[in-house]
Amino acid sequence: MTTTAPEQLDLQRAARDHLWLHFTRMGGYRDAEVPIIVRGDGCYLEDSKGKRYLDALAGLFSVNIGYGYGEEMGEAAAAQMRELPFYTNWSYAHPRAIELASEVASLAPGDLNRLFFVSGGSEAVESAWKLARQYYTARGEMRFRAARVPGQRVEAVVDFPEVHHVRNTNRYHRPPDESEAEFTAFLLDELEQTIEAAGPETIAMVIFEPVQNAGGAFTPPEGYWRGVRELCDHYDILLCADEVITGFGRLGAWFGSELYDIRPDLMTIAKGLSSSYAAIGAVVASDRVMEPFMEGTRMYSHGITFGGHPVQAAVALKNIEIMRRDRIVEHVGETRDTFRQTLEQLLDLPIVGDVRGTGFFYAIELVKDKETRQTFDDEECETLLRGFLSPALFERGLICRADDRGDPVIQISPPLVAGQQEFDQIVSILGDVLAEAWTRIH
């Protein structure tokens, strides 16, 4: 049965009837109201009832310049719409894609000089592994396990990459007497063993985030990235830094790769590239990765209709212009210490075990027992995070994320224009709500 959109749409009703929210238990909205956000300004959002929220998550770690630049960004988009609303990067170039590629190449560290545009972070990651595989194929190697089928192109034989996972850089639950150097050695040893066990000749790419999001803002221990780079060099494996969150200022530098001297062969970027005012991402490749594709008839066999879309590119260009003009990255660098100090006040609470992260990218790990660092079990997480914390924080006007994909954490990642007033408000609301959570649990 089809339904027609009524002239005066009841947004609440229509949201419940027709919209499928991402990563959302839709059953929860059978009887409850769907939160409808209608406008934004600076670090703040407003819902359909006129209630204001401090967005301490910057959309999804992504609205780096905040919500206040719509006018300027809109003008850039409108001008591009008038000039050339769409053309493709399949075989053709157009000015905005060229300008944006040059601009990002000038900001990216080292010889990361070549951009392949896509529509977002997932496509960037997918494009990176396809590129890594084709890079080795172009060099006459096959860096994946594939049953050879006579008459078929090797690339057609395997559709998905085989993935091996290694430990993240979470130090909070490591033995207390382990030094940072020992932790780094432990992680690198595990990475090397994983490469050896899989067979280095089957591995095309190692991909990590400079600071890992899932599990809560895991910063690398000293020497980690240097060691990862050395292993990749030793085994001749491409290193990709997934900068979808960490790129464009979140850590107080344009890229995490610069901050940690990662020297990757590939970077994936999206979110902050346009501060999410447009749906655009890219794979950034180094000269070394580009080299085999410049030979003879070779090409990178991949393409996406909206990759390098001129309107999205115009918006991303304007975003970078604003970030430079308004010294957004510098602002993070200048205020990150006070942001950390403000957040660390929460360590006085018995439920807060760890405050970790850097720049404007933090996680607060919640524990049942601070001495033993004991975490909550699944049922307690369910009651605590979903049952109490998420609704209570939202009710108090703070948007952040309670996440239990690993140990339970609250993720804090405000727009990069946030200042002391916002830092204080985040800590004040979190402090009250977390104190109440502790009382309820006990």
Ligand X SMILES: Cc1ncc(COP(=O)(O)O)c(C=O)c1O
Could you tell me which of 379, 374, 349, 377 has the C-alpha nearest to residue 364?
349
Q: Which is closer to ligand X, CB of 60 or CB of 166?
A: 60
- Shortest gap between Cβ of 238 and ligand X (angstroms)? 17
Output the smallest distance, CB 232 to ligand X, in A.
19
Q: Which is nearer to ligand X, 215 or 227 (CB)?
A: 215
Cβ closer to ligand X: 146 or 279?
279
Q: How far apart are CB 409 and ligand X at their closest, in Å?
A: 15
Look up tokens 């703040």; give the residue.
44
* Strand pairing category for 52-55 and 44-47: antiparallel
Order of strands across the sheet that contains 52-55 = 37-41, 44-47, 52-55, 398-399
Cα–Cα–Cα angle for 42, 52, 325, nearest 5°? 0
**Beta carbon nearer to ligand X, 120 or 264:** 120
Q: Report the phi/psi class of residue 150: left, alpha or beta, with left for phi > 0 and alpha for psi in -120 to 50.
A: beta
What span, in angstroms and rounded, lies between the C-alpha atoms of 439 and 116?
51
Nearer residue to ligand X within complex by CB, 125 or 259 = 125
- Residue whose C-beta lies closest to ligand X: 121
Question: How are beta strands 238-242 and 205-208 bridged, if at all?
Answer: parallel
Cβ proximity to ligand X, 125 vs 430, nearer residue: 125
Give the integer Cα–Cα distance in Å for 198 and 191. 11
How near is the Cβ of 122 to ligand X at its closest, in Å? 3
Residues 6+ apart with CB under 8 A from 362: 217, 339, 340, 343, 355, 356, 411, 412, 413
Residues near ligand X, by CB under 6 A: 60, 120-122, 125, 209, 213, 242, 244-245, 270
The least CB distance from residue 304 to ligand X, in Å, is 12
Q: Are strands 37-41 and 44-47 parallel, antiparallel or unpaired?
A: antiparallel
266-269 sheet: strands from edge to edge:
112-118, 281-286, 266-269, 238-242, 205-208
Length of the chain measured in residues = 442
SS percent in the chain: helix, strand, coil, step 5: 45, 15, 40
20 or 92: CB nearest ligand X? 20
Are the CB atoms for 204 and 135 separated by under 8 Å?
yes
Under 8 Å between Cβ of 324 and 317: no
Min dist. Cβ of residue 244 to ligand X (A): 3
| CA neighbor of 221 nearest in space, from 174, 170, 176 | 170
Strand, coil or helix: what is 97?
helix
By beta-carbon proximity to ligand X, the closer residue of 51 and 405 is: 405
Rounded to a whole number of angstroms, the minimum distance from the CB of residue 217 to ligand X is 12
Smallest separation, CB 280 to ligand X (Å): 10
Distance in Å, CB of 58 to ligand X, minimum: 12
Nearer to ligand X, 220 or 353 (CB): 220
Give the amino acid at 20: W
Q: How far is the CB of 411 from ligand X (least distance, A)?
A: 11
Is the Cβ of residue 243 or residue 354 nearer to ligand X in the bound state? 243
